[in-house]
């Protein structure tokens, strides 16, 4: 089966791009972040027309929002709150006789990498800390499970285009990278991107809008992740960052990440 995670930066604006991805990559399951739409206004008919008849959404007006689109049915759906906030940053589903899938949209963290001065950064660190506690307390490492989504941290040196320049910026600070390492350890996770692409090579999933040449100059970051527990890691088959999607008309600043399981 083929799984995709993608921060679409508004599902309603990105429907044509979703249709193109659906046609070209033929994913079985699509996990979305930043849908930016409340559940009543979600474009159910449009995604059903693409073949995704089983849909779980957790959205809100204007901000955040996650969703799972699937060609096959899933059994159960859960929503967890983090940092005491019901703000549409997590949704999970269970595929029968297969695995649990948890979709996350981790807070971006605001501009200043200091939790004393910036409540958004404190929120981000608290969110990542609670994820690690959850992974440990719930025995995640022993379950057949994947966490996917925009984790908003580029954890390794070659997950950004210039480590020395960016290591003081939110999303790539040593403190955030330590929180990611603790989460990875707590769940016994395999970082699927780095399972297939050596840490010596650049690997990016996000190119900002603000620099018009960011994609052509490859000023990228790896913010979007698929992490799997040991029982699921045995089934990994392939991985691809769909970088071409950044050149499509009206692109999201994030591109889809595809993982194949056998």
Active site residues: 105, 150, 254
Distance from C-alpha of 119 to C-alpha of 86, rounded to nearest angstrom? 17
Minimum distance of DNA from residue 108's CB (angstroms):
3
Burial 200-226 (b: 16+ CB within 10 A, else e): eeebbbbbeeeeeebbeeebbbbbbbb
- Mark residues 183-202: x for contact with DNA by CB under 7 A, - for none: --------------------
The backbone torsions φ and ψ at residue 166, rounded to the nearest 5 degrees and listed phi first, read: -100, -10
Residue 210 as a binder of DNA (CB under 7 A): the answer is yes
Give all strands of the β-sheet with 257-261 in edge-to-edge order.
Answer: 54-58, 66-70, 29-33, 2-7, 257-261, 236-241
Which 5-44 residues touch DNA, going by CB under 7 A?
A: 7, 9-10, 12-13, 34, 36-38
**The one among 76, 208, 237, 238 contacting DNA by CB under 7 A:** 208
* From candidates 74, 127, 221, 261, binder to DNA by CB under 7 A: 221
Look at strands 2-7 and 29-33 and give their pairing. Answer: parallel
In degrees and rounded to multiples of 5, residue 223 shows phi and psi of -110, -15
152 lies in the site for DNA, by CB under 7 A: yes
**Contact status: 163 vs DNA (CB under 7 A):** no
234 binds DNA (CB under 7 A): no
Of the candidates 96, 111, 139, 142, which one interacts with DNA according to CB under 7 A? 111
Among the residue ranges 68-76, 134-142, 186-194, 210-218, the one whose residues contact DNA (CB under 7 A): 210-218
198: which 2 tokens? 């050596």
Q: Is the Cα dihedral 179, 183, 186, 189 positive or negative?
A: negative
The verdict on 223 binding DNA (CB under 7 A) reads yes
Measured from the Cβ of residue 261, the count of other Cβ atoms closer than 10 Å reads 20
Q: Does 237 bind DNA (CB under 7 A)?
A: no
Measured CA to CA, the distance from residue 146 to residue 105 in angstroms comes to 14
Q: Are 121 and 115 in contact (CB under 8 A)?
A: yes
Number of chain residues interacting with DNA (CB under 7 A): 33
CB of residue 244 vs DNA: minimum separation in angstroms? Answer: 17
Q: Is 79 in the site for DNA (CB under 7 A)?
A: no
CB 5 within 8 A of CB 68: no
Q: Which of 58, 254, 255, 256 binds DNA (CB under 7 A)?
A: 254
| Nearer residue to DNA within complex by CB, 79 or 250 | 250
Q: Which of 27, 113, 155, 171 binds DNA (CB under 7 A)?
A: 171
Q: Does 179 bind DNA (CB under 7 A)?
A: no
Give the H or E element holding residue 227: strand 224-228
Residues lying near DNA in the complex (CB under 7 A) are found at 7, 9-10, 12-13, 34, 36-38, 61-63, 107-111, 120, 150, 152, 170-171, 206, 208-212, 221, 223, 250, 253-254
């Amino acid at each position: 089966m083929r799984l995709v995670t993608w921060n679409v930066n508004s599902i309603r604006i990105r429907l044509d791009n979703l249709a193109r991805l659906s046609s070209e990559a033929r994913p079985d399951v699509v996990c979305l972040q930043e849908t930016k739409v409340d559940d009543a206004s979600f474009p159910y008919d449009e995604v059903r027309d693409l073949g995704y008849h089983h849909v779980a959404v957790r959205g809100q007006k204007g901000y955040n929002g996650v969703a799972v689109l699937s060609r096959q049915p899933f059994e159960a759906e859960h929503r967890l709150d983090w940092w005491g906030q019901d703000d549409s940053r997590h949704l999970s589903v269970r595929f029968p006789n297969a695995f649990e899938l948890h979709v996350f949209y981790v807070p971006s963290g605001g501009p200043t990498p200091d939790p004393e001065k910036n409540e958004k950064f404190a929120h981000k660190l608290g969110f990542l800390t609670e994820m690690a506690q959850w992974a440990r307390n719930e025995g995640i490492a022993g379950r057949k499970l994947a966490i996917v989504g925009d984790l908003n941290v580029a954890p390794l040196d070659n997950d950004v285009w210039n480590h020395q320049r960016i290591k003081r910026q939110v999303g790539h600070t040593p403190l955030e990278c330590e929180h990611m390492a603790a989460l990875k350890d707590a769940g016994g996770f395999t970082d699927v991107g780095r399972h297939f692409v050596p840490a010596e090579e650049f690997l990016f999933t996000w190119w900002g809008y603000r620099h018009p040449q960011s994609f052509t100059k490859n000023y990228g970051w790896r913010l979007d992740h698929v992490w799997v527990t040991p029982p699921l890691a045995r089934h990994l088959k392939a991985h691809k960052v769909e970088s071409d999607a950044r050149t499509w008309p009206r692109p999201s600043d994030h591109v889809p990440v595809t993982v194949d399981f056998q």
